Amino acid sequence: MPNTNRVHRQLVCLPRGEGKVLLSWRLLPTDRADAPFQVERRREASDTWVRVSEIPVTDSTTLLDRVPEPRRYEYRVVGDGVSEVVSVDAGAAPDIVALSIPLDPEMFSGWGLLMALGELCNDGRIGYIVRGARGGRLWILAYDHDGQLRWERNTYLPPGENGDAYHVPLLCWDVNADGRSEVVFYTGQPDDPREHYGVPEVGQCLTAVDGETGEVVWEAPSLMVADAMTVGHLRGIDQAASVVVQERTYADVTLTAYDGRTGAVSWQVDQARPAGHALDIADIDEDGVQEVICGGVCYRGDGTVKWEAEQLGMLISRSRRGLTRAGPECRSGMRSRTGTQASTSWTRMATRSSRSSFTMLTTAGSAATPLRCRGCSRIPLKTRDMRPTRPSAGS
Ligand SMILES: [Ca+2]
Ligand SMILES: [Ca+2]
């Protein structure tokens, strides 16, 4: 018997002009790599589905359909279960926008704008968590996959010193391993007297709320709002997560790891070197425990230093905030020790791409054949890292 249960496959249908519709859907972890899918179409409000895939789709999760008339149709994908139904105007102009959600222009035209994605309702559908500003305070708003407002919370935080909120981070994750997603952000008090959030304040907290309801799960007192935040599994990939925050960016930083189950501080380190917008967590040695990489320093899951990169490669211009350029050490070559050749930017690039590229970087100094590139005799450079860059909002 075929499985007729409803399965959320994140089906996307986009008009591509001239009567064409592009469909894309998700291959689930429980699907075989060559799982067969059939695509079905019907006129909107019709009861009759028509199969449009001539043969089962087994080598991709996409299909380009040609419709008989330039009108609105509904689609679904049938594999192990039946996907959600998605409506599309096949006669519309080609578009790459799958979903447009209008937002309150008053709240989202100003200084607070930032968005994160996450499975708010634990149902396989991605929701949207948006940071906005209202009445001079930061707000967090959670929207369902279809754009319906689910909940909103006033953080009571004022804007930053520059009238912005670049460095007020936000994330969504199941941090306490109960099978439900949380949204984590900073909150102040209703009577917060500050004009700017960048000064210490008693009563300020790092707060985790339930993704579906917005109700508080835990609050961790925090005098400062950290510049960056990330989440990972520092006790083991199958254990509850930790939330790691980084205070300050271009000066010496403080890293704090919070136990995702309770919000208790697991460890805190003062790092006597600057960082950047590159706070990362990854299991770089594949031992099942993720490491934290910040400003060229790699920390084990318990907060002890695994290795520290030599300070080279990239310098930050303090006169022009956010301007990244190659440092003199890089142009003149460098001394090397195994496992130390990663600047902040390199580390970030490596941990976000693949383990192989990380291996390339960390063994460059000890490899029999040193890697070469333009402008540097020892380590590879990529021109995109030499360009001026702007700090990313909220990171
Ligand atoms: Ca949870
Ligand atoms: Ca590891």
- Please report, for the domain that includes residue 123, its CATH number: 2.40.128.630
Report the alpha-carbon distance of residue 362 to residue 296 in Å, rounded: 12
Q: Please tell me the number of the ligand nearest to residue 291's CA.
A: 2
List CB-based neighbours of ion ligand 2 within 5 Å.
Answer: 283, 285, 287, 289
The rounded Cα 393 to chain-centroid distance in angstroms is: 13
Cβ atoms of residues 241 and 259 within 8 Å? no
What is the β-pairing status of strands 216-221 and 228-232? unpaired
Instruction: Please report, as a single letter, which amino acid is at residue 214.
Output: G
Q: Which of 78, 96, 114 is the last residue of a domain?
A: 96
CA of 111 to the centre of ligand 1 (A): 30
Q: Please tell me the number of the ligand nearest to residue 300's CA.
A: 2
- Do 337 and 193 share a domain, yes or no? yes
CA of 180 to the centre of ligand 2 (A): 25
Which one, of 175, 131, 128, lies nearest residue 154 by Cα? 131
Please give the sequence-ordered ranges of beta strands (E in DSSP) within 235-296, or none if there are none: 242-247, 252-259, 265-274, 280-282, 291-294
Task: Convert the pLDDT of each residue in 78-98 to its tens digit.
Answer: 999 999 999 999 999 998 888
CA of 175 to the centre of ligand 1 (A): 5
Tell me if 7 is assigned to some domain. no
CA of 329 to the centre of ligand 1 (A): 45
Handedness of CA 154, 158, 160, 163 (dihedral sign): positive
- Structural domain tally of the chain? 2
Under 8 Å CB-to-CB from 34, ≥6 apart: which residues? Answer: 58, 59
Tell me if 119 is assigned to some domain. yes
CA of 301 to the centre of ligand 2 (A): 8
- Do 210 and 262 share a domain, yes or no? yes
CA of 120 to the centre of ligand 1 (A): 10
- Do 103 and 92 share a domain, yes or no? no
Q: Please tell me the number of the ligand nearest to residue 241's CA.
A: 1
Q: Please tell me the number of the ligand nearest to residue 172's CA.
A: 1
Q: Please tell me the number of the ligand nearest to residue 261's CA.
A: 1
Tell me if 58 is assigned to some domain. yes
Q: Please tell me the number of the ligand nearest to residue 289's CA.
A: 2
CA of 228 to the centre of ligand 2 (A): 21
Tell me if 105 is assigned to some domain. yes
Q: What is the pLDDT along the chain (395 residues), one digit of tens a residue?
A: 667 788 889 899 999 999 999 999 999 989 999 999 999 999 988 999 999 999 999 999 999 999 999 999 999 999 999 999 999 999 999 988 888 888 888 887 777 788 999 999 998 888 999 999 998 999 999 999 889 999 999 999 999 888 888 788 999 999 999 999 999 999 999 999 999 998 999 999 999 999 999 999 999 999 999 999 999 999 999 999 999 999 999 889 999 999 999 999 999 999 998 888 889 999 999 999 999 999 889 999 999 999 998 776 544 444 433 333 333 322 222 222 222 233 333 333 333 333 322 222 322 222 222 222 222 223 333 222 322 333 333 33
pTM above 0.85, yes or no: no
CA of 179 to the centre of ligand 1 (A): 5
CA of 207 to the centre of ligand 1 (A): 13
Tell me if 358 is assigned to some domain. no
CA of 123 to the centre of ligand 1 (A): 13
CA of 147 to the centre of ligand 1 (A): 22
Report the alpha-carbon distance of residue 384 to residue 241 in Å, rounded: 33
Report the alpha-carbon distance of residue 315 to residue 388 in Å, rounded: 11
- Do 185 and 220 share a domain, yes or no? yes
Q: Please tell me the number of the ligand nearest to residue 306's CA.
A: 2
Tell me if 370 is assigned to some domain. no
Report the alpha-carbon distance of residue 262 to residue 220 in Å, rounded: 8
CA of 354 to the centre of ligand 1 (A): 28
Q: Please tell me the number of the ligand nearest to residue 299's CA.
A: 2
CA of 210 to the centre of ligand 1 (A): 7
- Do 145 and 52 share a domain, yes or no? no
Tell me if 256 is assigned to some domain. yes
Tell me if 375 is assigned to some domain. no
Report the alpha-carbon distance of residue 161 to residue 220 in Å, rounded: 24
- Do 82 and 192 share a domain, yes or no? no
- Do 68 and 178 share a domain, yes or no? no
- Do 251 and 316 share a domain, yes or no? yes
- Do 64 and 110 share a domain, yes or no? no
Q: Which of 52, 67, 96 is the last residue of a domain?
A: 96
Q: Which of 51, 77, 96 is the last residue of a domain?
A: 96
180: containing domain: 99-348
Handedness of CA 199, 270, 300, 311 (dihedral sign): positive
- Do 193 and 77 share a domain, yes or no? no
CATH number of the domain to which 58 belongs = 2.60.40.10
CA of 254 to the centre of ligand 1 (A): 26
- Please report, for residues 341, 364, 380, the alpha-carbon distance to residue 370 in angstroms, rounded to integers and kept in the order given: 12, 6, 9
- Do 57 and 190 share a domain, yes or no? no
- Do 56 and 143 share a domain, yes or no? no
Task: Convert the pLDDT of each residue in 342-386 to its tens digit.
Answer: 333 333 333 333 332 222 232 222 222 222 222 222 333 322 232
Under 8 Å CB-to-CB from 384, ≥6 apart: which residues? Answer: none
Report the alpha-carbon distance of residue 118 to residue 143 in Å, rounded: 10
CA of 295 to the centre of ligand 2 (A): 18
- Residues 185-194: contacts with CB under 8 Å, at least 24 apart: 185/131, 185/140, 185/155, 186/155, 186/157, 186/222, 186/225, 186/226, 187/153, 187/155, 187/156, 187/157, 187/219, 188/155, 188/156, 188/157, 188/158, 189/156, 190/154, 190/156, 192/156, 192/157, 192/158, 194/158
